[in-house]
Copies of this chain bind each other. A is one copy, B any other.
Amino acid sequence: MKIGIIGLGLIGGSLGLCLKNEKLISCVSGMDANKEHQQKALELGLVHEILTLEEMKRKSDIIFLAIPVEAIIKIVKELEDIDEDTTIIDLGSTKEKIIEAVPEKIRRNFIPAHPMAGTEYSGPTAAFSGLFNGAVVAICDFKESSEKHVKRSVELFSHLGMKITFMSAKEHDHHASVISHLPHAISFSLASSVLKKENKKNIIALSGTGFNGMIRIAKSSPVMWSDIFKQNKDNLINAIDMFKKELDECENLVKNEKWDELKDWMSEARKIREIL
């Protein structure tokens, strides 16, 4: 089986590293709009070769889209003439807008998937082979894709050690807005407010593991995340409003010196320990 990967950053590059180790995969080809990334990916051995889009379309059994979600929307138009046996797997963090953009002709080739894997680093040098092992991958609206392409993607993801979960694109975008996109909006806001109010010396002196954990994802790629916020705008706004109500609740308990109620409220929040 021959694989093509469009986008050789953290996600695409890590995928290349994993797939090159799979015995049933004979060739992993890559491409990236950034020529330096292409060169780096070859040097790092993330892929066997670099192809043009047209070459990749002809050669590959599966093409992965591992680029920012707005770029996915653009590139799917160029895949319209793909062979019906070729599987296209999109790895974007949003689903509804991407599915809307897929040309009708290739909708059954198309598997909308979201691997819950990433770090705050980006680009080919951030890639590592362990990224996907044990991570969840959501496969969305699978009934709209051909059975052949669903089976192929399920086999491939499970061989990479991933935990597959099926859900609708609508559900995915709603849940992801709360559990993934909102935390990014919060982390960027926290980093931004601390940078405005504190000098470097105090940040370094007083930051412990707690603060570091809270601002880690603010180090993520602005291109990738502004795209995600754009595509999941309405869900994200609802999630932010819901969070602001909780933060207001906390602030009001402090303002009104309701210390016992504050402790109870914290104890409720702390029940997240029973889940994660």
| A contact residues vs B (CB 8 Å cutoff) | 116-119, 135-136, 138, 165, 167, 175-176, 178-180, 182-198, 200, 202-220, 222-223, 225-226, 229-230, 233, 236-237, 239-247, 249-251, 254-255, 257, 259, 262-273, 275-276
Contacts and interface: CB of A to CB of B under 8 A. Distances in A.
A223 B186 contact: no
Nearest to A223: B263
Given A186-B190, A254-B233, A119 B244 contact: no
A259 B276 contact: no
20 contacts: A116-B205, A118-B208, A175-B205, A187-B214, A189-B249, A190-B243, A190-B246, A191-B269, A193-B245, A195-B268, A197-B239, A203-B275, A204-B275, A213-B213, A218-B270, A219-B273, A220-B270, A222-B267, A229-B262, A230-B257
A75 to B, nearest CB: 19
Contact of A213 (B165, B214, B245): B214
Given A167-B205, A184-B210, A230-B257, 11 more contacts: A118-B208, A175-B198, A178-B197, A188-B266, A192-B269, A193-B242, A215-B272, A226-B259, A230-B259, A233-B254, A243-B247
A192 B268 contact: yes
Contacts of A178: 193-194, 197-198
A72 to B, nearest CB: 16
Nearest to A188: B269
Contacts of A264: 222
A236 B212 contact: no
Number of copies: 2
Given A179-B203, A186-B190, A213-B217, A251 B240 contact: yes
Contacts of A255: 233, 237
A262 B184 CA distance: 13
Nearest to A219: B273
Given A138-B206, A206-B138, A210-B217, A185 B247 contact: yes
B188 A250 contact: yes
Contact of A204 (B118, B188, B237, B276): B276
B193 A226 contact: no
Contacts of A207: 116, 179, 276
Q: Counting chain B CB atoms within 10 Å of each CB, which of A211, A242, A271 scores highest?
A: A211
A176 B211 CA distance: 10
Pairs A-B, 9 closest by C-beta atoms? A222-B266, A192-B269, A189-B246, A213-B213, A116-B208, A226-B263, A191-B272, A191-B269, A189-B247
